[in-house]
């Protein structure tokens, strides 16, 4: 219930996030959000039989999500500081990380979407993409709450780590493919 | 900037705001949140149920009551059957190229797999027409030593072809499983040498050997073999043949006379081999693994430990890619010297 109270505060008074004192239970709510979001994503992927079953599989995904978001929050905060956007009163990477966790509650919607996909009444990929877009939108809003920046800069900051990782992935993929072709041909 | 905020009058000024932040605003948000949380829980339970049902359908198969499965439950989960592949012609590999699948590498793999504590039985997945006598005997002796030292059962599984040297290796095993159509047998020795004398005369090429003894260039492709040399080679072949027959007789627990009747170099199908006592059982790799599991005391469908060496496989691939236009294979073929072989050349 404490988590619900924190979420209620964040929804009704989003300015509380940027207050000198962080909202009570933000850390707890953030971790609960990460877990609920990971569980939603895990169940969505399990419904499509795309991930191995078991608690270990879920935990591995959970720790990956935590690590990735920790990195993302750090990178975004660094980007903001480097570009001169000082965080509002007591913001920072830690608060950003916890707040990102609250946005991960949105991924819980993937569970019913997975159902609808299995029932062939809804395109699962479309739902997944929609969920990710809503998540990004919520994160952009969060960043704007914590840092005095424009919407475009907040969007750039949120998208930056994803874009960097995507670029790295594709560079690795292309290099790997070229290497593989060289080995085989 | 932050220091100024913390150290100045800000905390007092922030106090009323902090109090306000901690108090949830009255309204319908909480009700909505509770409703969403409830729906989430319901959908989670339903998803769990659906996934569990789907997994159960996957696992549901006609099951037979198998006592060996019950006994397997009492064993450590890690118990497994080791599998070593012996594919292609058997020859002595280069010791400096650890990724080559020569007899040394195969022998080392067998010894390593057999020495692993979790491995309770070893399956040799054999698909070879044999190879040079020394290389085949190297693998044979390592199997015998491993059996003696570890007391673990060895099972030979024949694939498409397991003839001559392939059968020699398998004769050291406790059980031989073959497909009904596997080509096996070809128990015997061969020494083949080409004679290019006529061709060399035609092209005007002459080769001369200055030798310390009359047999020093025995097997030379540049001249006709003498009757004396033929007798000498026949003696060697007879001796290697006797070793083969003795190995089969010992391994198969068969009188040597009976082995000799079967060992005129002919090939057999797996089914004929079964009728003649050269094979114990007809079946596929899974049958061999099941038999190994039972002989190792871990029941049917055992966990499998394969001798995989990804790094060596990668080096092997790299090595093959770095040989332009297969020059190494060509050089090997040209540099090949005639040798005694437990090998079937029918393919």
Is B69 in the active site?
no
Rounded mean pLDDT, B286-292: 94
Q: Which residue would you say has higher pLDDT here, B144 or A117?
A: B144
Question: Could you tell me the two tokens for A157?
Answer: 């900051």
CB contact at 8 A, B163 and B267: yes
B192 touches chain A (CB under 8 A): no
The whole-number pLDDT of residue A13 equals 80
DSSP string, chain A: -HHHHHHHHHHH-GGGGGSSSPPTTHHHHHHHHHHHHHHHHHHHHHHTT-S--SHHHHHHHHHHHHHHHHHHHHHHHHHHHHTT-PPSTT--HHHHHHHHHHHGGGGGGHHHHHHHHHTTSS-HHHHHHHHHHHHHHHHHHHHHHHS---HHHHHHHHHHHHHHHHHHHHHHHHHHHHHHHHHH-
Residue B279 CA to residue A146 CA, distance in Å, equals 77
Is B162 in the active site?
no
DSSP string, B122-159: EEEEEEE-EEEHHHHHHHHHHHHHHHHHH---EEEEEE
The whole-number pLDDT of residue B3 equals 37
Q: Which residues of B touch A21 (CB under 8 A)?
A: 14, 18, 21
The whole-number pLDDT of residue B59 equals 63
**Among A177, A1, A163, which Cα is nearest to A76's?**
A163
Burial class (CB in 10 A: 0-12, 13-18, 19+), B35: exposed
What band does B336 get if pLDDT is binned at 50, 70 and 90?
Answer: low
Q: What is the DSSP letter of B299?
A: -
Query: ipTM, 2 decimals?
Result: 0.73
pLDDT digits (tens, 9 = 90+) for B98-111: 666 788 889 988 99
Nearest residue on chain A to B53, judged by CA atoms? A47
- The position carrying tokens 């699948």 is B101
DSSP string, B230-267: HHHHHHHHHHHHHHHHHHHHHHHT--HHHHHHH-SS-E
Residue ranges, chain A, pLDDT below 70: 1, 87-91, 185
B35 touches chain A (CB under 8 A): no
Residue A140 CA to residue B37 CA, distance in Å, equals 24
What band does B88 get if pLDDT is binned at 50, 70 and 90?
Answer: confident
Rounded mean pLDDT, B118-145: 93
Average confidence score pLDDT of chain B: 81
Question: Could you tell me the two tokens for A105?
Answer: 């509650």
Q: B269: part of which helix (H) or strand (E)?
A: strand B267-269
Residue B245 CA to residue B337 CA, distance in Å, equals 25
Q: Mutation test of the interface with chain A: which of B19, B21, B52, choosing the one with the most A Cβ atoms within 10 A?
A: B21
DSSP string, B331-347: HHHHH----EEEE----
The whole-number pLDDT of residue B16 equals 43
Neighbours of A169 (CB within 10 A): 10
The whole-number pLDDT of residue B209 equals 85
> Is residue B14's pLDDT more than 60?
no
pLDDT digits (tens, 9 = 90+) for B191-233: 888 888 888 888 888 888 898 988 888 888 888 889 999 999 9
The whole-number pLDDT of residue B20 equals 43
CB contact at 8 A, B280 and B176: yes
Q: Which residues of B touch A178 (CB under 8 A)?
A: none
Catalytic residue among B201, B211, B214, B216: B216
Closest partner residue to B25 (CB to CB) among A12, A53, A114 is A12
pLDDT digits (tens, 9 = 90+) for B223-275: 888 999 999 999 999 999 999 999 999 999 999 999 999 999 999 999 999 99
CB contact at 8 A, A62 and A34: yes
- The position carrying tokens 């319908």 is B28
What Å distances lie between residue A25 and A21, A35, A40, B120, CA to CA?
11, 15, 22, 55
CB contact at 8 A, B130 and B89: yes
Query: Percent of chain B scored above 90 by pLDDT?
Result: 44
Residue A115 CA to residue B46 CA, distance in Å, equals 9
- The position carrying tokens 């190297």 is B138
Question: Was domain B75-206+214-343 assigned CATH 3.90.226.10?
Answer: yes
> Is residue B54's pLDDT more than 80?
no
The pTM of the whole model exceeds 0.90: no
β-strands B154-163, B119-128: how paired? parallel
The whole-number pLDDT of residue B240 equals 93
Closest partner residue to B43 (CB to CB) among A5, A46, A115 is A115
The whole-number pLDDT of residue B300 equals 87
- Whether A12 and B27 lie within 8 Å, measured CB to CB: yes
Q: B119: part of which helix (H) or strand (E)?
A: strand B119-128
- Whether B18 and A19 lie within 8 Å, measured CB to CB: yes
Q: Which residues of A touch B29 (CB under 8 A)?
A: 8, 11-12
Rounded mean pLDDT, B63-88: 66
| Ramachandran assignment for B229, one of left (phi > 0), alpha (psi -120 to 50 degrees), beta (any other) | alpha
The whole-number pLDDT of residue B47 equals 82
Residue B344 backbone phi and psi in degrees, to 5:
-100, 125
- Whether A7 and B10 lie within 8 Å, measured CB to CB: no
Residue B130 CA to residue B103 CA, distance in Å, equals 11
Q: Which residues of B touch A23 (CB under 8 A)?
A: 21-22
Nearest residue on chain B to A185, judged by CA atoms? B321
Q: Which residues of A touch B27 (CB under 8 A)?
A: 12
Any idea where the domains of chain B sit in the sequence? 75-206+214-343
Q: Mutation test of the interface with chain B: which of A11, A42, A85, choosing the one with the most B Cβ atoms within 10 A?
A: A11
> Is residue B73's pLDDT more than 50?
no
Question: Could you tell me the two tokens for A98?
Answer: 């916890």
Q: Mutation test of the interface with chain A: which of B14, B19, B22, choosing the one with the most A Cβ atoms within 10 A?
A: B22
> Is residue B181's pLDDT more than 90?
yes
Neighbours of B59 (CB within 10 A): 8
């Amino acid at each position: 219930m404490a988590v619900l109270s924190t979420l209620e505060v964040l929804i009704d008074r989003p300015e509380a996030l940027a207050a000198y004192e962080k909202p009570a239970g933000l850390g707890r709510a953030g971790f609960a959000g990460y877990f609920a979001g990971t569980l939603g994503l895990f169940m969505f992927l399990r419904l499509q039989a795309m991930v191995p079953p078991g608690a270990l599989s879920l935990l591995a995904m959970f720790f990956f999500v935590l690590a990735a978001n920790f990195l993302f929050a750090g990178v975004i905060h660094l980007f903001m500081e480097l570009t001169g956007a000082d965080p509002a009163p007591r913001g920072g990477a830690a608060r950003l990380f916890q707040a990102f966790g609250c946005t991960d509650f949105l991924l819980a919607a993937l569970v019913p979407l997975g159902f609808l996909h299995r029932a062939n009444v809804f395109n699962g990929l479309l739902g997944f993409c929609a969920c990710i877009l809503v998540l990004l939108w919520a994160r952009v809003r969060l960043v704007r709450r914590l840092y005095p920046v424009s919407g475009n800069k907040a969007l750039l900051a949120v998208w930056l780590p994803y874009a960097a990782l995507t670029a790295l992935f594709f560079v690795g993929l292309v290099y790997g493919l070229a290497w593989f072709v060289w080995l085989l041909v | 900037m932050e220091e100024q905020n913390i150290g100045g009058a800000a905390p007092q000024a922030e106090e009323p705001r902090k109090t306000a932040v901690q108090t949830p605003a009255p309204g319908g948000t909480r009700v909505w949140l509770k409703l969403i949380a409830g729906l989430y829980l319901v959908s989670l339970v339903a998803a769990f149920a659906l996934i569990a049902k789907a997994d159960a359908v996957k696992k549901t198969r006609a099951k037979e009551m198998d006592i060996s499965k019950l006994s397997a439950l009492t064993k450590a989960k890690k118990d497994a059957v080791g599998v070593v592949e012996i594919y292609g012609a058997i020859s002595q590999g280069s010791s400096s190229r650890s990724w080559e699948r020569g007899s040394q590498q195969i022998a080392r793999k067998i010894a390593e797999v057999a020495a692993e504590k979790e491995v309770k039985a070893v399956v040799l997945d054999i698909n070879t027409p044999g190879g040079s006598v020394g290389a085949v005997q190297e693998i044979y002796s390592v199997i015998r030593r491993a059996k003696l030292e570890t007391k673990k059962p060895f099972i030979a599984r024949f694939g498409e072809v397991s003839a001559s040297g392939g059968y020699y290796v398998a004769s050291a095993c406790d059980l031989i499983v073959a497909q009904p159509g596997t080509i096996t047998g070809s128990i015997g020795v061969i020494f083949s040498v080409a004679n290019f004398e006529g061709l060399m005369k035609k092209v005007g090429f002459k080769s001369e050997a200055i030798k310390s003894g009359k047999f020093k260039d025995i097997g030379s492709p540049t001249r006709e073999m003498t009757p004396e040399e033929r007798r000498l080679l026949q003696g060697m072949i007879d001796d290697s043949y006797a070793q083969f027959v003795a190995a089969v007789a010992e391994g198969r627990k068969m009188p040597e006379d009976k082995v000799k009747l079967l060992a005129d170099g002919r090939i057999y199908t797996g089914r004929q081999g079964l009728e003649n006592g050269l094979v114990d059982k007809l079946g596929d790799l899974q049958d061999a693994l099941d038999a190994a599991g039972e002989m190792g005391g871990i029941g049917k469908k055992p966990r499998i430990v394969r001798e995989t060496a990804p790094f060596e496989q990668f080096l092997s691939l790299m090595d093959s890619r770095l040989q332009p236009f297969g020059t190494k294979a060509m050089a090997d073929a040209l540099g090949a010297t005639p040798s005694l072989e437990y090998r079937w050349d029918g393919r």
